[in-house]
């Protein structure tokens, strides 16, 4: 797997590899490697068994897609939208490979802050818990990879989308349209994904840099931090 593909994996849920990881070792106390949730993490309609929203019915009527397709397209896009202002109690605990790269040994709780800081930008999420959404994302992974690399690599798109001027927004939409034409079967999904991105906050738009210099929102949080309990 090339580094660019690995970065895209991280952005859409890390589901292809995370389901194969062994359970990490834990200590009584220490540090968690965590990151803010995405919109799908917080949206019950995107969870397993979730019901469509009113907007999904409207989208289905406008696009002639099924309501289920409209819901999955929306939730797929929500996977890519970070919610940095979410309470720490809703943040996602990550895992990373133990220093030294020993196969099968993964860490979910770090004994020392220095160890945790070394893993910033390298954490893996647990797999998606919604099998329907997992399969849907898997179908579009290659195309989503291209869209996310477009958004993360082009200097014109480095700002938060809310701060894009009209010229930048038009350039992004033109680029997404070009990708959509390469994959006509998924064109409607890609256009919806691009429109969603242009209105929201890209993943890891802020924060320290991790692997390959990519920005990351991952943080080390003490296991006894009261914010983890919602305080």
Q: pLDDT for 72-99, tens place per residue?
A: 999 988 888 888 889 999 999 998 876 6
Residue 121 makes CB contacts below 8 A (sequence gap 6+) with 208, 209, 210, 211, 214, 216, 218
So what's the pLDDT on residue 97? 77
Task: Give the position of tokens 């593909």.
Answer: 5
Give the model's confidence band at 31: pLDDT under 50 very low, under 70 low, under 90 confident, else very high: very high
pLDDT confidence tier of residue 188, bands split at 50, 70 and 90? confident
- CA 212 to each of CA 4, 7, 203, 208: distance values in angstroms, whole numbers, following the listed order: 9, 9, 16, 12
pLDDT computed for residue 90 by the predictor: 95
CA dist 146 and 82 (Å) reads 19
Mean pLDDT, to the nearest integer, of 98-125? 77
Polymer length in residues for the chain: 231
Phi, psi of 202 (to 5 degrees): -65, 150
The pLDDT score that the predictor gives to residue 102 is 45
Percent of the chain at pLDDT exceeding 70: 77
Residue 50 is predicted with a pLDDT of: 92
Write down the pLDDT at residue 220. Answer: 93
pLDDT greater at residue 162 or residue 22: 162
121 vs 100: which has the higher pLDDT: 121
Say how far apart CA 137 and CA 158 lie, in whole Å: 24
Query: Can you tell me which residue has the tokens 């099998």?
Result: 131
Q: CA 59, 60, 64, 66: dihedral to nearest 10 degrees?
A: 150
Residue linked to tokens 């995405």: 38
| Residue 76 and residue 136 in contact, taking contact as beta carbons nearer than 8 Å | yes
Cβ–Cβ contacts within 10 Å for residue 112, how many? 12
| Whole-number Å distance between alpha carbons of 75 and 48 | 11
Give the SS3 label for residue 34: strand
Report yes or no on whether pTM surpasses 0.85.
no
Q: Do the beta carbons of residue 179 and residue 150 sit within 8 Å? A: yes
pLDDT at residue number 28: 52
pLDDT for residue 56 is more than 60: yes
173-200 average pLDDT score: 84
> How high is the pLDDT of residue 231?
57
Domain boundaries, given as residue ranges, for the chain = 3-223
* Residue 133 pLDDT greater than 50, yes or no: yes
């Amino acid at each position: 797997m090339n580094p660019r593909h690995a970065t895209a994996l991280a952005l859409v849920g890390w589901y292809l590899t995370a389901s194969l990881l062994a359970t990490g070792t834990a200590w009584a106390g220490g540090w968690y490697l965590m990151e803010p949730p995405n919109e799908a993490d917080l949206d019950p309609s995107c969870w397993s068994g979730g019901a469509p929203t009113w907007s999904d019915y409207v989208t289905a009527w406008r696009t002639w897609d099924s309501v289920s397709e409209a819901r999955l397209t929306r939730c797929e896009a929500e996977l890519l939208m970070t919610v940095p202002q979410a309470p720490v109690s809703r943040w996602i605990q990550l895992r990373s490979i133990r220093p030294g790269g020993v196969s099968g040994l993964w860490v979910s709780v770090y004994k020392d802050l220095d160890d945790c800081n070394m893993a910033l930008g390298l954490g893996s999420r647990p797999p998606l818990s919604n099998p329907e959404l997992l399969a849907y994302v898997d179908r579009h992974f290659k195309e989503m990879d291209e869209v996310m690399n477009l958004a993360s690599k082009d200097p014109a798109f480095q700002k938060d989308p809310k701060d894009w001027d009209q010229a930048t927004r038009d350039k992004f939409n033109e680029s997404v349209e070009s990708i959509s034409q390469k994959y006509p079967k998924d064109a409607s999904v890609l256009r919806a994904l691009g429109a969603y991105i242009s209105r929201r906050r890209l993943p890891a738009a802020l924060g320290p840099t991790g692997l390959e210099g990519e920005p990351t929102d991952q943080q080390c949080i003490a296991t006894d931090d009261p914010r983890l309990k919602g305080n």
